[in-house]
Chain A
Amino acid sequence: MAVTRGFVGRRASARDPRLPPGQYDVGSSWPVLTAESTPSIGTDRFRLTVDGAVEEQVTWDWAQLRALPASTWRGDIHCVTTWSKLDTWFTGIPVDVLLDAARPLPTATHVMVTSSTGYTTNLPLADVVDEKAWVVWEHEGAPLAREHGGPVRLLVPHLYFWKSAKWISRITLRDSDEPGFWERNGYHMRGDPWLEQRFDGD
């Protein structure tokens, strides 16, 4: 492809190796990206269910979720609209803890994650196990803000951030893949930022 006449780009220092291709560092800010209107979900109404291809469907309320042993994930997150936020941290539990309780059937290969807004996103099961994905309720020590998915959101930091569904209410184990909200709307089925899997066809 052709060089853009006159374009140098903003590179005072060498590019940070933590930034995937096409991403820029937002520093301490955290842009908000949502397709829908921001819901208000009180912790009293919060429920999270793991169902589908599992041996036992399990639902947690706020107190039950918070009673699980919390830990902190620290690292970088990447949004498909080209911002990345480096060295940030979240507190919650690995998705493994929830899956261990519900016990996925051997036929399960994918999950569909649903938000209380009806938003959905699909992920291969392999992308949400082994501490690669988290269910989180705190960001950098403070309760997760509503516009960032509070009270509870999914965190799948190794994929573009639309996979990290806000206001999570359900994780459904499936034996086949099916597109979620953005995936039906032209975005990539997997969304690996290092491979720039932004859009359907990338």
Chain B
Amino acid sequence: MVTDDLTRAAAARATRWRDARVVDVTHHGDRGVVLRLDVPDRIPHRPGQHYVLRLRAEDGYTASRSYSVVSAPSEDLVELYVERIPDGEVSTFLVDVVEPGDLLETRGPIGRWFVWDGRSRALGIGGGSGVAPLVSMLRHAHEIGRPELLSLAVTARSAAELPYVDELRAAKALVALTRVNDLPPGPTRLDAAVLGALVDPGATVYLCGSTRFTLAMETHLAVGGQPASTIRVERFGAGVAPG
């Protein structure tokens, strides 16, 4: 009961809006940006959780979107990766306009379902910017000295379009590049055969990316015999995350 109350109190604090300061902005060409934020009175996140960013215009108009935390819970700054969606209202602003020193309204960390605490086996499967929460899991696994608990399979069109490609490769993630497979040897798709070989009924699967991607992966996993009850899904959007 006491822990329940504490969790509730932390959740209530997490939903408060705070002005975070942008400390660091690293562009990935014109495809995306890594933002590092100093969040005052920060509550440590659990790998897999996200923050909501809210942009506010002079006249009070606001737009808010969710972004998964990439950093490990122990890191001082909250790291986010934002993929630039053409014509996207919030992502284009974050990629094109935001500079160090800017203040962004944030709240978080949010989510208690798509989270992995590093205590049991996990298989992370990510497409494109969907690798963001998996990288947080990966950093956490290394920090707690349990890298063997986490297997990763990720995909993008090319290495340039895969955020955190070096970090993922260093961790021996299976990398599938669908258009420009310039990192041989590697598969060009996460297809039924590739996923079938990864099936592990004793692990929890964390599946993250666009709707089309996650639906395809769910089908492959089901065919391969991964129990549906072990699969947790985070969907990022329309090209497409609770509904």
Which residues of A pack against B, CB within 8 Å? 1-11, 15, 21-22, 24, 26, 29, 31-39, 79-83, 117-118, 147, 161-162, 181-182, 184-187, 198-202
Q: Is the CB of B65 within 8 A of A5?
A: no
Q: CB within 8 Å of A: which of B102-158?
A: 102-105, 107, 110-114
Alpha-carbon gap, A118 to B232, bound state (A): 13
Q: Point out the residue from B66, B215, B231, B238 that lies within 8 Å of A29, measured CB to CB.
A: B238
Q: Is the CB of A21 within 8 A of B222?
A: no
- The interface residues of chain A lying within 8 Å CB-to-CB of B231 are 36-37
* Nearest 9 A/B pairs, CB to CB: A33-B243, A201-B12, A185-B112, A37-B228, A37-B231, A10-B89, A199-B15, A162-B242, A201-B15
Residue of chain A at shortest CB distance from B112:
A185
Q: Is the CB of A162 within 8 A of B61?
A: no
- The interface residues of chain A lying within 8 Å CB-to-CB of B89 are 9-10, 24
Q: CB within 8 Å of A: which of B39-71?
A: 54-58, 61-66
Interface residue B168 (Cβ < 8 Å from any Cβ of A): no
* Pairs A–B under 8 Å by Cβ, sample size 22: A2-B56, A4-B57, A4-B105, A5-B97, A6-B93, A9-B61, A22-B63, A22-B64, A26-B238, A31-B235, A31-B243, A32-B215, A36-B231, A37-B228, A38-B218, A81-B242, A118-B229, A182-B113, A185-B112, A199-B107, A199-B110, A200-B11
Alpha-carbon gap, A65 to B11, bound state (A): 40
Q: Is the CB of B62 within 8 A of A21?
A: yes
Residue of chain B at shortest CB distance from A5:
B102
- The interface residues of chain A lying within 8 Å CB-to-CB of B235 are 31-34
Alpha-carbon gap, A9 to B89, bound state (A): 6
Per DSSP, chain A at the interface is loop
Alpha-carbon gap, A15 to B60, bound state (A): 13
Given contacts A4-B104, A32-B211, A82-B65, is CB(A182)–CB(B233) below 8 Å?
Answer: no
Given contacts A80-B242, A81-B241, is CB(A35)–CB(B233) below 8 Å?
Answer: yes
Q: Is the CB of B105 within 8 A of A1?
A: yes
- The interface residues of chain A lying within 8 Å CB-to-CB of B61 are 9, 11, 15
